[in-house]
Structures are given as C-alpha cells and as structure tokens.
Chain A
Amino acid sequence: MIHMSAILFRRISMLFIVAFLLGLGKTVTIPANGAASLNDLGLQQLVEVKEKQFGVRSGYRFEILARSNPFYLDINGGDAANVPIMSNRLYVLGEAGNYGIGMGVMKHTAGLVYNRTNFMSGLLDVFDHDTQTFFLDNTYLRTGNWALSAGIRGTRIVNTADGEKDYSGWTPNVSIGKLFQPGTRQSLWIRWRNSLTFSEITGLAVDGSPFKGLTDDRLNHWSSGLGFTHGWAFAKNWTLDSRGSLDLSQYSKGANQDRNDKLLNLGTAIQWDFLRYFSMAGFLDYSRRFSNLDKYSFSNWDGGVRLNADIGF
C-alpha cells in the first residue's frame, strides 16, 4: 500500500512523512508535463498555511562592497576614497493583522533596523556611521494583487567616531502597488510611492559658517517615484532579484530652495539559499541623480557580496 522511494523521502516534508506513516495513502509519481491532464476537477496541491495573526522576523546581513563614488559627489573624489566598505545590519520586524476587510486583508508591520557602515581605511574612518531606522507600515492587500500602503519612517544617522547625530528625519509615505506573477517562479511588483520628509541635518550649519542657507531643514522634500522589483527563482535554491526605480524630488528649504532631483536606481542580485535560514548573494547596483543644481548630481556603482541570516517565528 505505501510505496515510497528514497528520492521521494528527500522530496516530501516531514509533515507528510508522518502522515504517510499514519497510513494516509500511497503516492504515484508523475512527470511534470503530466500534471496538466489532472485539471478536469482542478489541481489539488497540498499546502500548509500560517494560522497565527502575529509574527516576528529577525535577521542579520553582512556586506562587503566596492563603491565607485563613496561620497556621492559630482566630481571624482580621487583614489583615496576608493576603499572597500563593510556594512553590518541587524533588524527585527513585528507583524500583526491578516484580518479581512471587504475584499482584502490588512497587515501592520513595525520594524527596527540598525546598520553600521565602515570604510575600511584609517584615513576615512571619521566617516564611519550608524543608520538607525524605525518604521511603521499598514498595508491593505486586495484581490487582484493590489496593495495600498501608508506608513512612516524615522531615520537617524550618527557618526561613530564622535557620537554626533548628523541627521534625523521623519518620512510619512503612501504607495500603491500591484503584483504580477508571470509564472510560478517569477514575481513582479510595480509600485508608485509618494513621501514627504521632515528632517534635521546638523554638523555644517554652525554659527559663523561662511556658507549661506545651510539651515537644519534644508533636506526637507517631497518625493514621488515609480519602482519595480522582480524575483526569479531560476533554479532550486537560487534566485535572481532585480529592481529599479525613478524618483522625482523637490526641495524647498534653505540652500536647497527650488532644487529638483531625479534619482535613478537599478540593481540586481543573485542569491543562493544554502541553508534554511542562511543565504549569500552577489550584487551590483547603479545610482544616478540628475539635479537642476549641478553639485547634487552624481553617479555611483556598488558591487559586492552579502551574507544573510533570517529567521521568522
């Protein structure tokens, strides 16, 4: 009655092994191209669902990368600035919700992200910094794979050399997105996002500064942008993730009055999930900013490897 090959044992989850041992039934192995003939009634694929309404996800990411323009300047910063950069990130996310409203479901997410960036050169270690982020996100997922989100993000940048807070800001945001699934192994998110940033930048706007307009709020801006994220599981445990976005920003305070930027971001990463909670990836990112104030234009390449550990419970 119960016939299972060694190959089958490797392929099915422990849950089903237990079920089989309890005498659930027998298996028949069929080729993938034979599955289409089963659809008179509809394919009945066994799944496990998450019943709980709350969840926690935590992780760590290590990156080492080469950056062509470490300070995002419109001029060549010189060879001295071209040093490897190390990044260590810890994060914890709390999720609640999954409750139905109308034709959709609401999810709430709160997260803390701590990121330390180190320039791997003694000359540049005065620029080492921590980026601390807190965010709240409320997403309404609707049938048809539409997602409406509203949230707020708070960011602080602290110089690790002197402990000074260089920047802090709050960014309320709203977005609308749609998920497309061209096949079982691919997904494509397209999203339009709008945000307003209220910020405070310190360090340069000191008394007696020869520069004009370096007010604390000069980085306040609104931004609107279209972006995509594409995921492709092209082989077992291997995925190719690509993303791109074009954001328009308008500044109105201090030295940045009437500044308008267009920021293009493109990136791709090939990831290998080598253990249940661990993965590594190689990545390549490109950024280019066009600003009506030339000194804020730049282009930059990032390339490197990263190691991820992620667990959810």
Chain B
Amino acid sequence: MKKRAYTPSNQGQLLLTALAAFLCFSPLHSEDYQFKLVEWIEADAGGQTLHKGETHRGVPLLRGQSASLGPGSRMELVGSLGEMVRLGDETSFTLLHDRQVRLSRGEMLLCLPPSESMPFRIQGPSTSFHLDNSGTIVTQVTANGGMKLVCLSGHPRLLVGSHSALLQPGRVYFLPPGQPRLGRNILIDLSLFIRTSALIQEFPGKLPTHRQMQKTAFLQAISIKKRTRLFVGDATSSDSLDLLLIEN
C-alpha cells in the first residue's frame, strides 16, 4: 500500500475541498443569498427622472459584487430574505456575505422585515455596525468616514462594538469613524424628512413599511411643540457635526 505524502500542494487541495463542502452544506449557500435589482432610475441634467426600463429587472448582485452609481442614478434591490435596499446617487455598495454589505460612499435606505436570521451588517469606510429586529433606516457615509443613521420606522436594534441601542424613529444617530461606538443623536422632523428624501419619493413603488412610516411621522407631527431653523448637516471631523441654519 502506497502511503500518501502530505505535501503543501495536497494540503491546499484538502483546504479547497473542505471549503467547497462547507459552501455546499452550509445552511445558506452563498449563491442563495443575493440581491436582485428591482428598479433603476436616473435623473437627467434637468432633474427629470427617467426609468431604465424593464430589462434590467431581476439582474442579481452576487456576493463580492458591487454597484457603483453615478450622479442622478438610483437603484432598488431586494435581498434573498426580503431586505429592501435603495441606493442613492454616487453610492458605492458591495454585497460582502449573507446579510453583510459595505457602503463605501453615498447613502442607502434599508427596510428590514421581521426575521429570525442573523443581524444585518453594514460596513462603512472606517466603522461598521449590525442591525437587528425589523424597521426602516437610512444610512449615509459622512465626510469624516463615519456614518449617519436615520431611523424611519420600527425599533431596530443597533449593535455597534460592544454596545447596543434601540433606535427611535425620527432620530438621527452618528457613528464616528474608528473604534465602533455610538455618537450623538438628534431628534428631527420625520414628516419633513420623508417628504424631502429622494430615496423615498423618487421611486415609483412604495416601501413595504410605507404605512408604518406615515403613521410614525403623523404621531410625531402632532407632538411637535417647536421647530427650529437648524438642520442637521454632515459630520466633518471625528466628534462634531454641522448644523445648518436656514436664513429667512
């Protein structure tokens, strides 16, 4: 009987076999989890929205693939587990793994349906976080490399570093760059946000959480006792943010 020697080359074969077996028998095969393109719209130079037609519908975005959108271009994608993603213009989005995405630049709206599966992970340029529970959030890469989150409906749980927090609709949260941690949060007019957000208004279809969002905004609207002329802007340095003052 000829003994088989364990050389570096067949050790590599073993590793590849093991990896293939893992991918075949893992509960969620990597090819099973993907995003599919639902809507692709572009705005022309005059701001007019143009639909890209029906042919692109169903085009998959597989693990490791990216979508980089140019100016005026927006996309809607649906994940295998019902997650809906809308990408704003000049956004770079990559599907890393099952329920794991990277947002390198731009902004993204995420609708998370009720799910028993693993938390949804979003990785930014220099921070990352997980979201658990159902809800609707918008997230944006800030100028300082951190991220901004706006909760629109539900009470998703934010897991960042060793901390967790239940997100409150109508609140903007900042995640500074570097060591994952939750920064400042500010209450905003949810109704105004919804009315002026291209990620909500520019697409022909309604979000699955549209009614819930409208209700949440309405409940907040009748409780507002004071509006300021200050608007939340970008985060340009590690621990501060811009507030914009609208003149008369």
Residues of A within 8 A of B (CB): 1, 8, 11-13, 16, 23-32, 35, 38-51, 98, 100, 103-105, 141-143
Contact = CB atoms under 8 A, between A and B. Distances in A.
B219 A100 contact: yes
Give the residue among A1, A11, A32 with the most B Cβ atoms within 10 A: A11
Contact of B199 (A29, A41, A43, A45): A41
Which secondary structure characterizes the binding site on chain A? mixed
3 cross-chain pairs, A with B, having the tightest CB-CB distances, nearest first: A42-B197, A44-B232, A42-B193
14 contacts: A11-B229, A13-B228, A25-B240, A27-B230, A29-B244, A32-B248, A40-B198, A42-B193, A42-B194, A45-B189, A48-B187, A49-B187, A49-B220, A50-B225
A191 B156 CA distance: 39
A132 B192 CA distance: 41
Contacts, number: 155
B244 A38 contact: yes
Interface of B: 88-89, 107, 138, 140, 150, 170, 172, 184, 186-189, 192-200, 211, 214-215, 218-220, 222-233, 237, 239-248
A119 to B, nearest CB: 40
Contacts of A31: 246-247
Contacts of A27: 230, 242-245
A35 B225 contact: no
A47 B248 contact: no
B188 A45 contact: yes
A50 B223 contact: yes
Contacts of A48: 187, 224-226, 228
Contacts of B229: 11-12, 45
Contacts of A46: 186-189, 227-228, 230-232, 243
A16 to B, nearest CB: 6
Contacts of A45: 188-189, 192-193, 227-231
A43 B243 CA distance: 12
Contacts of B218: 103-105, 141-143
A141 B193 CA distance: 21
A39 B197 CA distance: 6
